[in-house]
C-alpha cells in the first residue's frame, strides 16, 4: 500500500467525523465491557487460585468429603501407609461471627503435621507468646486480611457462634503465609470440640513418598476411601472452583461481544454509505490508475483504523471500569462466587492485545462488504452514472439465504455445550441475526406495499426509492434490527426468568417464617433441644427442619448440595418439572444434577451418607435457581435414619391461625437471644431475592439501552450521509415543485419504513434469539429451565418508539441537507 495515498482515504474518515466517532464509540464500548469482565475475573480467579494453592501447599493429593466432614479414623489409616510421606488433617468451618451476618473461614490444623504439607497455614504466635499457645483451645490466629477485615489486632477477642452459643477466642497471633486471604487458623482438636464436630475431618492433605507417581499413589489409596470421600489432585479442586464461575463470565462476555457486533454493524453502515457517496471518486481513482486490490485494502484500512482507535479507547475504558467495579462490587461483580478475597488489578498485555485485535476485526468486518462492493464497481459505469442512483449491488433480496441461516441456527442449537460453554447457542444467535439482515429488503418491500393505497406524492416517491435501492434499507435497517433484536431477546428472557424465579420462590418458600442458624456456615446449627424449643414456641403450628450438607457424586464435578427436609411422598412441595416416578425411597434432583450427571426419573442414584453408600430412586426433577452445581432433596426422616445426624440448619415455621409472623419472631428472639437467630418472613426473602435479581439485570438493561441508542444513532448517521449524497435530488425535487414539508414527509416515510422493517425483523429475530437464550444458553450454562413469558405491551411500545425516533432522525438529517439553497444543490457537483 502506498502510504502517500493516506490523505485520500483518511481525509474521508475525518470528513465524516460524527459517524466515525459513533462507530469508534460502539466498538470502544464493546471492547471496554469485554476487557472489564475479563480483567476483573482474572484478578479474582488469580487471587482465588493463589489462595487455593497456598492452602493446598505442597500436597500431592487431597482427601475431601462432604461439607459435614468424614470420620477422622481415616487419617490414622492413611498416615501409616507406606505410600504416604506426610499427611496433614484439616477441619474447615464456615464460622459465623456472633451477632453479625458475616462469616469467616476457620481452619483447624494439626501444627505438628502442618509444616511438611501446608507451611503457609502455619500459625505464628505473637510477641511474648510461647510456641505452645498454638495448642490452647481458646486461641485463634488470623491472616493479615482477616485482621484488617474484622478490625482486630493481636490480643483482641474474636467471638464466633458455635451452635446457638457465643464462643470467645483470643487472637494469639497471625498466619503470615496467607496474605491476601481472609482465614482464621486454630488447633484442630479445639475446632472439633467447639463446633460439635468430634471425630470429624473435612480434608486430609498428603505428600507421597519420594519417587512414587501420582497415579500409583492414587491407585494404592483409593480403596481406602469410604463412600462419599474422594482423592483429588489439588488442581482438580481448583479447576472445579474456576469452572463454577465460568458460565457467569462467559455470559457477561457475550454481552460485550453483542456490543462489539453492534459496533461492527455501525462500521458497516457508515462505511457502506460513505462508499456509496464516494462512488464516483473511486471510479475516478480507478481510472487514473488505482488498482482494484489496493482500493479494497485502503477501504479495509479505514475500518481497521476505526477498530484500532475504538479498541485502544475500549481497553483503557475497560481497565477504568474494572477498577471501579472491583471497588464497588468485588471480584464476582456481586454474584457471590468469590467471597472473602481481595483481588488486585494487573495490566495484562495479552488480554489487551486480544481485545485490540477483536476491535480491529470488528472494524474490518464492517468495512469488508462495502470495500468489496467499491472495488468491483466498473469505473466507466460509475463515472457516467454518478451520484447515488445505484445502491449497493450486493444487497438484493435474499430470502433463500435467510431461510438457510435460520435452518443452520436450528442445527447449531442441537450442539451440546463445549466445556460448559453453550457455543452452539451463540453461533445460533449470530446466524439468526444474519438471517434477519437477509430478510430485511423483503420486509421493507412488504411494508412498503401496505402503503400503496396512499396516493400522496412524497409517499409514492419514498416507496419508489426503497424499491429501487433495497441496499440502503439493509444498510440503515441492519443497525436497528441488530439492536432491536438483542433488546427484544433480552427483554423476553429477563421477563421469563423473573416470572419463573418469582413462581419458584413462592413454591420453595411455603411457610410464613424462616429461621436460620447461620447464613452460610456450619458453625451455627440447631441441635435436638433447640429444635424442640423452636417447635414449642407459642404460635408455631408446625416446624419443618432443614439440614444442608454436600455430597460428592463424582471426582470430576464439584460437590452437590444435599437438602434434607420434610417432603410428601410425591414431592408436591417442590417446583417439579417433567415426568415423575412413584417409589419407596425417593430423592428429587435439581435440573443441574439431571444435566451434569445424566440422571433421569426412575434411575437409581447412589448417595454416600455417613461413609456408606445408599441406593435411592430419582422420583422427579425440580427447578432450582440457587445452586448451579446441583442439589438433591431427600426426606429428612430418611436422612436422619441413615446418617445419624440429628442437627438442622434452617427451620420453616407454619404459624397457627391468627398469629402474625412478627409476633412469633419476637417470641423466638426472646427465647434465644436477639443475636443468635436469623429470622426472615417469606415475603421479605422473596422481595430481597427479586431485588437482587433486578439489580443484577440492571446492568443488562443499561447495555440494551446503550445498544438501542447506538442503533438509533446509526439510523440518524445513515440518513444524514444519504441525505448529503442526495442533496442534488432534493434540490431537483424542490425545483419541480415539492414543498419543504413534502420532502420532509418523504424522508419521514423512508425512515419509518426502514426502521419499521428493522423493528419488525428485530421482533421476529429477537423472539427466536430469546428462545435460544432460554432453551440453549441458560440451560447449558446454568442448567435451569424457565417458563416463557412475552411482555407484549412493552415490546410494542418499544418498537413503536423506535420507528418514530427513526422517522424523526431521518427528517432531521434531511432538513440539514435541505438547508442548502435548492439552486446551489442542483448545480453543485459534489
Partner 1 sequence: MLELSQLTRRFGGPGGRTVLDRVDLRLEAGEYVAIVGESGVGKSTLLNLVAGLDRPDGGTVKLSGTDLSTLDDDGLTRWRRDRLGFVFQAFHVLPHLTLAQNVALPLWLQGQQDASSMRAASEMLAAVGLAGREAGWPRELSGGELQRVAIARALVHKPRLVLADEPTGNLDPHRAGQVLALLRERVRAAGAIGILVTHSHEAAATADRVLRLTGDALVPVTNTQ
Residues 6 or more apart in contact with residue 311 via CB below 8 angstroms: 27, 28, 31, 355, 356, 357, 358, 359, 360
CA distance 545 to 563: 10
Beta strands of 163-213 (E only): which ranges? 165-174, 183-187, 200-201, 203-208
> Quick check: 5 binds partner 1 (CB under 8 A)?
yes
Give the residue with the Cβ less far from partner 1, 145 or 379.
379
CA distance 177 to 806: 61
Binding to partner 1, residues 285-344 (CB under 8 A): 285-293
The CA-based angle 124-129-131, given to 5 degrees, is 60
Give the residue with the Cβ less far from partner 1, 289 or 737.
289
- What are 462's three cell numbers? 419514498
Size of the site for partner 1 (CB under 8 A): 29
> Quick check: 378 binds partner 1 (CB under 8 A)?
yes
Binding to partner 1, residues 454-473 (CB under 8 A): none
CB of 18 to partner 1, least distance (A): 15
Binding to partner 1, residues 385-414 (CB under 8 A): 386
Q: Are 478 and 758 in contact (CB under 8 A)?
A: yes
> Quick check: 450 binds partner 1 (CB under 8 A)?
no
CB of 6 to partner 1, least distance (A): 9
Torsion, CA 767, CA 768, CA 772, CA 774, rounded to 10 = 30
CB of 284 to partner 1, least distance (A): 4
Residues 6 or more apart in contact with residue 329 via CB below 8 angstroms: none
Q: How far is CA 341 from the centre of its chain?
A: 20
Lay out the site mask for partner 1 across 737-776 (x = CB under 8 A, - = otherwise).
----------------------------------------
165-174 vs 124-125, strand pairing mode: antiparallel
Please report which helix (H) or strand (E) contains residue 722, including its range: helix 682-725
Q: Are 265 and 474 in contact (CB under 8 A)?
A: no
Binding to partner 1, residues 14-33 (CB under 8 A): 14-15
CB of 269 to partner 1, least distance (A): 21
Lay out the site mask for partner 1 across 273-292 (x = CB under 8 A, - = otherwise).
-------xx--xxxxxxxxx
User: Using CB under 8 A, which of the segments 7-15, 55-63, 170-178, 668-676 binds partner 1?
Assistant: 7-15
CA distance 560 to 558: 7
> Quick check: 823 binds partner 1 (CB under 8 A)?
no
CB of 494 to partner 1, least distance (A): 46
Q: Are 106 and 92 in contact (CB under 8 A)?
A: yes
CB of 1 to partner 1, least distance (A): 10
**DSSP 8-class letter at 775:** I
CB of 279 to partner 1, least distance (A): 11
Lay out the site mask for partner 1 across 682-711 (x = CB under 8 A, - = otherwise).
------------------------------
CB of 306 to partner 1, least distance (A): 17
- What are 490's three cell numbers? 433480552
> Quick check: 7 binds partner 1 (CB under 8 A)?
yes
Q: Is the dihedral of CA 103, 105, 110, 112 positive or negative?
A: negative
CA distance 512 to 682: 5
CB of 736 to partner 1, least distance (A): 22
Among 233, 335, 383, 520, interactor with partner 1 by CB under 8 A: 383
User: Using CB under 8 A, which of the segments 374-382, 542-550, 649-657, 672-680 binds partner 1?
Assistant: 374-382
Q: How far is CA 538 from the centre of its chain?
A: 45
Binding site residues, partner 1, CB under 8 A? 2, 4-5, 7-8, 11-12, 14-15, 280-281, 284-293, 378-380, 383-384, 386, 829-830
Amino acid at each position: 500500500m502506498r502510504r502517500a495515498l493516506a490523505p485520500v482515504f483518511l481525509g474521508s474518515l475525518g470528513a465524516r467525523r460524527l459517524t466515525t466517532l459513533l462507530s469508534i464509540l460502539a466498538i470502544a464500548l464493546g471492547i471496554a465491557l469485554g476487557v472489564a469482565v475479563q480483567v476483573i475475573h482474572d484478578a479474582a480467579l488469580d487471587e482465588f487460585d493463589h489462595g487455593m494453592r497456598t492452602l493446598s501447599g505442597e500436597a500431592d493429593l487431597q482427601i475431601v468429603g462432604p461439607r459435614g466432614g468424614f470420620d477422622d479414623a481415616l487419617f490414622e489409616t492413611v498416615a501409616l501407609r507406606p505410600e504416604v510421606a506426610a499427611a496433614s488433617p484439616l477441619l474447615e468451618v464456615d464460622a459465623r461471627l456472633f451477632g453479625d451476618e458475616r462469616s469467616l473461614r476457620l481452619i483447624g490444623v494439626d501444627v505438628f503435621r502442618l509444616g511438611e504439607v501446608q507451611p503457609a497455614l502455619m500459625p505464628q504466635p505473637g510477641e511474648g507468646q510461647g510456641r505452645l499457645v498454638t495448642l490452647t483451645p481458646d486461641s485463634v490466629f488470623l491472616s493479615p486480611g482477616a485482621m484488617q477485615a474484622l478490625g482486630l489486632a493481636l490480643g483482641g477477642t474474636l467471638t464466633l457462634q458455635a451452635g446457638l452459643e457465643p464462643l470467645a477466642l483470643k487472637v494469639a497471633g497471625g498466619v503470615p503465609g496467607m496474605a491476601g486471604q481472609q482465614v482464621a487458623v486454630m488447633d484442630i482438636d479445639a475446632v472439633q470440640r467447639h463446633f460439635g464436630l468430634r471425630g470429624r475431618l473435612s480434608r486430609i492433605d498428603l505428600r507421597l513418598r519420594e519417587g512414587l507417581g501420582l497415579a500409583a499413589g492414587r491407585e494404592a489409596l483409593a480403596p481406602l476411601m469410604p463412600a462419599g470421600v474422594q482423592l483429588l489432585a489439588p488442581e482438580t479442586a481448583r479447576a472445579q472452583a474456576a469452572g463454577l464461575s465460568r458460565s457467569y463470565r462467559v455470559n457477561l462476555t457475550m454481552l460485550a461481544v453483542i456490543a462489539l457486533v453492534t459496533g461492527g454493524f455501525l462500521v458497516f453502515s457508515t462505511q457502506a454509505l460513505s462508499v456509496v457517496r464516494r462512488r464516483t471518486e473511486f471510479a475516478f481513482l480507478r481510472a487514473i490508475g488505482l488498482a482494484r486490490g489496493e482500493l479494497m485494502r485502503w477501504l479495509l484500512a479505514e475500518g481497521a483504523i476505526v477498530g484500532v482507535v475504538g479498541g485502544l479507547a475500549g481497553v483503557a475504558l475497560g481497565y477504568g471500569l474494572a477498577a471501579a467495579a472491583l471497588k464497588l462490587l468485588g471480584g464476582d461483580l456481586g454474584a457471590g462466587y468469590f467471597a472473602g478475597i481481595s483481588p488486585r488489578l494487573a495490566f495484562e498485555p495479552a488480554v489487551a492485545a486480544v481485545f485490540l485485535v477483536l476491535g480491529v476485526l470488528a472494524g474490518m468486518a464492517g468495512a469488508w462488504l462495502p470495500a468489496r462492493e467499491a472495488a468491483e464497481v466498473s469505473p466507466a459505469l460509475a463515472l457516467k452514472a454518478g451520484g447515488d442512483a445505484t445502491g449497493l449491488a450486493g444487497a438484493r433480496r435474499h430470502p433463500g439465504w435467510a431461510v438457510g441461516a435460520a435452518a443452520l441456527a436450528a442445527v447449531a442449537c442441537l450442539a451440546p455445550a463445549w466445556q460448559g460453554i453453550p457455543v452452539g447457542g451463540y453461533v445460533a444467535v449470530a446466524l439468526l441475526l444474519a438471517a434477519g439482515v437477509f430478510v430485511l429488503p423483503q420486509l421493507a418491500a412488504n411494508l412498503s406495499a401496505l402503503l400503496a393505497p396512499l396516493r400522496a406524492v412524497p409517499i409514492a416517491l419514498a416507496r419508489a426509492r426503497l424499491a429501487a435501492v433495497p441496499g440502503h434499507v439493509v444498510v440503515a435497517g441492519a443497525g436497528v434490527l441488530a439492536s432491536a433484536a438483542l433488546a427484544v431477546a433480552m427483554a423476553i428472557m429477563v421477563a421469563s426468568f423473573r416470572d419463573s424465579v418469582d413462581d419458584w420462590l413462592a413454591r420453595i418458600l411455603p411457610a410464613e417464617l424462616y429461621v436460620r442458624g447461620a447464613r452460610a456456615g456450619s458453625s451455627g446449627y440447631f441441635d435436638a433441644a433447640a429444635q424442640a424449643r423452636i417447635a414449642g414456641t407459642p404460635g408455631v403450628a408446625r416446624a419443618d427442619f432443614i439440614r444442608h450438607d454436600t455430597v460428592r457424586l463424582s471426582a470430576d464435578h464439584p460437590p452437590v448440595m444435599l437438602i434434607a427436609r420434610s417432603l410428601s411422598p410425591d414431592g408436591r412441595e417442590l417446583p417439579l418439572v417433567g415426568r415423575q416416578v412413584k417409589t419407596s425411597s425417593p430423592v428429587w434432583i435439581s435440573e443441574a444434577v439431571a444435566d451434569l450427571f445424566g440422571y433421569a426419573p426412575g434411575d437409581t442414584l447412589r448417595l454416600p451418607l455417613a461413609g456408606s453408600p445408599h441406593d435411592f430412586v430419582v422420583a422427579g426433577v425440580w427447578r432450582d435457581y440457587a445452586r448451579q452445581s446441583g442439589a438433591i432433596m431427600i426426606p429428612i426422616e430418611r436422612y436422619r435414619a441413615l446418617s445419624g445426624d440429628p442437627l438442622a440448619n434452617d427451620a420453616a415455621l407454619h404459624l397457627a391461625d391468627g398469629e402474625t409472623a412478627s409476633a412469633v419472631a419476637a417470641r423466638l428472639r426472646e427465647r434465644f437471644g436477639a443475636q443468635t437467630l436469623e429470622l426472615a418472613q417469606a415475603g421479605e426473602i422473596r422481595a430481597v431475592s427479586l431485588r437482587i435479581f433486578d439489580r443484577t439485570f440492571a446492568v443488562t438493561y443499561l447495555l440494551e439501552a446503550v445498544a438501542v441508542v447506538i442503533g438509533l444513532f446509526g439510523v440518524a448517521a445513515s440518513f444524514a450521509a444519504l441525505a448529503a449524497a442526495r442533496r442534488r435530488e432534493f434540490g431537483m425535487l424542490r425545483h419541480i415543485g415539492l414543498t419543504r414539508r413534502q420532502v420532509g414527509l418523504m424522508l419521514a416515510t423512508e425512515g419509518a419504513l426502514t426502521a419499521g422493517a428493522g423493528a419488525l425483523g428485530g421482533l421476529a429475530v429477537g423472539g427466536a434469539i430469546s428462545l435460544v437464550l432460554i432453551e440453549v444458553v441458560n440451560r447449558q450454562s446454568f442448567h435451569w429451565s424457565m417458563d416463557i413469558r412475552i411482555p407484549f405491551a412493552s415490546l410494542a411500545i418499544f418498537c413503536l418508539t423506535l420507528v418514530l425516533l427513526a422517522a424523526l432522525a431521518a427528517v432531521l438529517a434531511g432538513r440539514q441537507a435541505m438547508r442548502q439553497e435548492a439552486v446551489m444543490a442542483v448545480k453543485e457537483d459534489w
